[in-house]
């Protein structure tokens, strides 16, 4: 799958349905037939929407873990907790289950944020706070994570 690009604000209704914005739906078009997996994020109070192709790649990695190692088994259980297979319906809506809405603290306004090959689904206030909290440290983080990468022949990272 190609890289997903963009940040989109939208609303979720009382049943947990959200309308996928047209530019995002267009990017997800290749995965519409196969469906998606919606899960809790490991590090943040948000949800992660995986196109099925990306989820299957992740599961290939997870399946290499030895389940007779307790730590691995505990990780698998926690990583897959609350996982749901979801589809975008003909009207372009996605249904978020009540347990996942509660986990992410989703109210009415949400943000759909691209994260390379998946989409994060955030309560808008929590998303804004997470961006603000990291703003001061982002330059240091960028240098630490990306500063030593220079694998292009042109010398530009």
CATH of 7-124, one of 3.30.360.10, 3.40.1550.20, 2.40.50.140, 1.10.287.470: 3.40.1550.20
Q: How confident is the model at residue 157 (pLDDT cuts 50, 70, 90)?
A: very low
Q: What is the pLDDT of residues 86-145, one digit of tens each?
A: 999 988 999 999 999 999 999 999 999 999 999 999 999 999 998 886 556 777 777 888
Q: Report the distance separating Cα 91 and Cα 60, nearest Å.
A: 32
Q: Looking at the whole model, is its pTM more than 0.85?
A: yes
Angle at 99 between CA 96 and CA 105, to 5 degrees: 80
28-83 pLDDT tens trace: 988 888 999 999 999 999 999 999 999 999 999 999 999 999 999 999 999 999 99
């Amino acid at each position: 799958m190609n890289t997903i690009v963009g940040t989109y604000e939208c609303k979720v209704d009382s049943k947990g349905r959200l309308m996928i914005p047209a530019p995002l739906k267009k990017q997800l078009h290749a995965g519409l037939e196969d469906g998606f997996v919606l899960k809790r994020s490991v590090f943040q109070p948000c949800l992660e929407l995986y196109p099925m192709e990306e989820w299957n790649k992740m599961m290939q990695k997870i399946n290499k873990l030895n389940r007779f190692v307790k730590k691995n088994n505990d990780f698998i259980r926690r990583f897959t907790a609350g996982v749901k297979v979801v589809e975008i319906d003909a009207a372009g809506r996605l249904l978020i289950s009540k347990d996942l809405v509660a986990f992410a603290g989703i109210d009415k306004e949400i943000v759909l944020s691209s994260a390379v090959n998946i989409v994060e689904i955030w309560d808008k206030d929590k998303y804004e706070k997470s961006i603000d909290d990291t703003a001061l440290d982002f330059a240091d983080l960028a240098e630490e994570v990306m500063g030593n990468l220079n694998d292009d022949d042109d010398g530009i990272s």
